[in-house]
Structure 1
Amino acid sequence: MIKTENKYLHKLLLIFLAFLGCQRFVLPSFYSFVCIIPFVFFLLKNHNLNYLIISLFLCVDNGAGVYSSSLGILRYGIIFISLFFLIKNANFSKERINIYLLIVTFFLFITLLSFLRSIPFNVNQLIRDLEILLFFGLAFCTSISTNKTYIKIHELSFFFIWFAFFEIINIIRYSNWPYLHYLSYDSSKSLIAIPIIYLFFKQRYLKLIPIFVPIFVVLIFYGSRIIILSLIILLLLYGLIRFVLKHKRNFFKAFFVFSLFVFLINYTRTNFKHIFDSNRILHSIDNLFTHTSLSKLLISLDKVRFYEYKLFFERDIFTILFGSGLGTGIEDKKNYFSFVKTNQYAFHDFELQSKLFFNFHDFFTDIGLRFGLVAVLMLFIIVIRYFYSSNPEKELFSFLALFLLINCFYSLKGIYIIVIFLLIWKSTQKSRTVDI
């Protein structure tokens, strides 16, 4: 009876936290301090990382001048105090520490080369890159026992479902708010997709359908296309991998039929063009194949990202592969970003004024800018290799780690959340990572 009462009280607490965490309109001076409540519970019960993740999620690191942000001392306090509790139960690998030191030495050497080549440098960016090295170094060199530290994904899903519900109320109630198209600027807002991912992996599709719609609506109002795109693409990729591995013969048959179909369409377009020209719909399809430029398509989807890719890949091959070093950036010599205004929040004002850019919008361009595509691809390959595993927990945390890498990388809080999931993903004792 006591256990049942505690269970209901715990659920009420999660609902209460979700309610308070959404009150950016009603309690603008208070809601950014709500993160203290779950953090206190984490300190009292620090083996349950759910409270820590909820605390980090509710700790607002970016209000963009529109919404209140949590105090810097509060954000850093939560991160570094909880980090102490996290690593006190961790095991360090001497072999991995030696490998890590070699990696750090390599990036310091690359940084020295860039300094000699007078590549743009920024101290704040250097601090951020050192934070990235430190936190990903911890994920690489340490392991934790999930008998002592664990995450209950179903509890996190419960919290984020209620959080999405209260966000829907905000969307309806404050429909005339001029900034409603950007309901959140916070770096950890992608965590709200956890219920979709969890239910998809548990194959609970009847529960997934009614939950998917409100969370999808909230993600639209959060104003980040990459969260929605990466969620859909990764789910489709995971489903495709499972289908291919389970139905290899059928897949290759379907692939052969599809390839034959594409070949016949292309052959018909080339040799019987008059048929396509005589029909308006067929003529439109022909124009799509013949005249649609990939670059124009990318520009129409996201002009800022297109020119980020252009700047990134215009560098020499060595810098593309191995990065330009810690604290470095890139100069927009061709004035690609002249169309970006200061009130669009795409870049910092000093970046637009100096034409020296240090922060890009995608993981592979932003991290790849300084650490190189080789490092980015290696990290992706390490995480994605458990996309299909005999252990469903490993699969789930592999997916979550990759999803968060794409969407949370651009802040210290986001990197810390990624590291937490990577540590759980790495654990060898998996009995308590997911309590279903």
Structure 2
Amino acid sequence: MSKRAEAIAARVEDFVRTVVAPYEKDGRRDHHGPTDALVMELREKARIAGVLTPHILEDGSHLTQRETAIVLRQSGLSPLGPLACNTAAPDEGNMYLLGKVGSAEQKARFLDPLVRGEARSAFFMTEPAEDGGAGSDPSMMQTTCRLDGNHWIINGRKKFITGAQGARVGIVMAKSGDGACMFLVDLPDPAIRMLRVLDTIDSSMPGGHAVVDLVDLRVSPEQMLGASGEGFQYAQVRLSPARLSHCMRWLGLATRAQEIASDYANRRHAFGKPLVDHEGVGFMLAENLIDLKQAELIIDWCAGVLDSGSLGTAESSMAKVAVSDALFRVVDKCVQVMGGNGVSQDTIVEQAFREIRAFRIYDGPTEVHKWSLAKKIKRDWKAAQA
């Protein structure tokens, strides 16, 4: 690992543990997540500490994926850490995409405010399943775009749009006669109508997860990423790194949950000895150590694949399945070790359980990734027979 990444990660860890963690009891939040006022206060502290958007360097270059992994893991030690350090989803993935494929004008208008931590963003792709829209299968997209004079007109409904309420930058996916398209939009826009914010199991995302209608949204051609029909191509650029960065951040949170549960098990006595000395408890914490290390290693392996220039589609699917399932086992055991305290909000263990449970669905459910990998096995077998 590079010395620069180790130094950045150490600064991020110190900041999250000493500055951010005390804010976990701050009342400025609703059911969906922290308020923007709290986020911006923390980002100002991160700016002063030199850890704002730490994965993007002053010259605009991005840390390698292996370097990013250790930095984002430390930012994830608190549910507020990624928000404070500006490494949270969907902003981190959107910044990565725009940095890779945005034009100079698009970067100045849409990317720079995100990197400076002055704005939040939203990625408008998922659609209502009840309407037959795109979810795990993006080819089912029903949102349309068509040229009208010198503007594109977009119509459709989107669902589970993280952070849409309060976002200033939007990336909207729609389909034209050529195929999928991707547009950059300024928010708010009267043509993007907030129907409701869903009540979900997680509560770490400012703005929550919204259902929105796009009604005759007018977008200039300069706001399209690439050309008409290239939307899925650009989605692939974002896909694997975004999957993996989820793994990085949640590894940090699960690590913190393990620390809290281990401290509890060593301090709490029952039946004449510390809980950790009871096999039923000690073995759970030992199994957690194994899962945490395996998660760390598969993240590093997948990051190395991405750093080689590969899209890493299959590798990121493997990592996402392995890490999300392993980390859920970790936080579930942490709750169990702590008993009644584990299901209370006296520590962040209860929230970690909820957040990581949702992670097993977000960015593709475990079952979809396994199905995709099974198809790859079949393709590879057929190729070997030819």
TM-score by length of 1: 0.23
TM-score by length of 2: 0.25
Structure 1 or 2: more strand by fraction: 2
Structure 1 or 2: more helix by fraction: 1
